[in-house]
């Protein structure tokens, strides 16, 4: 199972393109388009894998709780967008999600349960709002949403699989190094968001 999770994470990382995931509307299709979308945006991909990776560092109950909280709050954010509620600073929040989650992994930050849940929940709302704003123009918004949440869950599982490496001799250094790389990408995304 661990090997499968690791392979899934590597495949997802290899599918990333240099464009951010939130560059447009008019999304086509249903489940397949929704499933592919998070894999094509490095900001979403890195944040999702980092949620699982940080959960693996934190252990129980957060290894199971964070991958449930994030998609749940992502759905809440999407519903808020579709209802026309005022947006949070979405692009800033998404960039910060990559930076903060990567930094938490890099530092092996043992946050208390309430704080880890709050961090992941806030970032889930930002990611969800961005995609909820795109959903009304999708040809099949329900299928798209289901595909998107399924891919998000698999990215969390990939992160948990990568986090299992922390118990190996060089695994802790490798996973924390991966967190540092994610945080560096978050700084870049933050710079891009500030330019908009």
Task: Profile the chain (196 residues) by mean pLDDT over runs of 10 residues.
Answer: 38 37 50 79 90 92 93 90 86 94 95 96 92 69 80 86 85 91 94 82
Contact 126, 97 (CB under 8 A): yes
Classify residue 107 as exposed, middle or buried by CB count within 10 Å of its CB (0-12, 13-18, 19+).
Answer: middle
The C-alpha atoms of residue 158 and residue 177 are separated, in whole angstroms, by: 16
12 with 155: CB under 8 angstroms?
yes
Say what the pLDDT of residue 25 is: 42
Give domain limits for the chain. Answer: 41-195
pLDDT of residue 14: 37
Q: What is the pTM of this model?
A: 0.78
pLDDT for 54 equals 94
Rounded distance, CA 190 to CA 12, Å? Answer: 22
How far apart CA 63 and CA 53 sit, in angstroms, is 8
pLDDT value, residue 116: 97
pLDDT of residue 11: 36
In this predicted structure, what is the pLDDT of residue 136?
59
Q: Is 13 helix (H, G, I), strand (E, B) or coil?
A: helix
């Amino acid at each position: 199972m661990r090997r499968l999770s690791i392979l899934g994470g590597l495949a997802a990382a290899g599918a990333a393109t240099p464009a951010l995931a939130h560059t447009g509307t008019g999304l086509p299709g249903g489940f397949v388009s929704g499933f592919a979308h998070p894999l094509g945006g490095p900001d979403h991909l890195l944040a999702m894998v980092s949620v699982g990776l940080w959960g693996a560092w934190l252990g129980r109950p957060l290894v199971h709780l964070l991958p449930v909280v994030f998609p749940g709050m992502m759905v809440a954010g999407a519903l808020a967008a579709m209802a026309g509620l005022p947006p949070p600073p979405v692009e800033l929040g998404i960039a910060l999600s990559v930076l903060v989650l990567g930094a938490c992994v890099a530092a092996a930050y043992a946050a208390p349960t309430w704080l880890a849940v709050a961090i992941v929940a806030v970032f889930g709302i930002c990611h969800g709002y961005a995609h909820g704003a795109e959903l009304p123009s999708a040809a099949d918004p329900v299928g798209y949403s289901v595909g998107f949440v399924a891919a998000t869950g698999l990215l969390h599982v990939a992160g948990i699989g990568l986090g299992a490496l922390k118990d190996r001799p060089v695994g802790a250094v490798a996973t924390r190094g991966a967190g540092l790389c994610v945080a560096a990408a978050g700084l870049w995304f933050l710079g891009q968001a500030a330019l908009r």
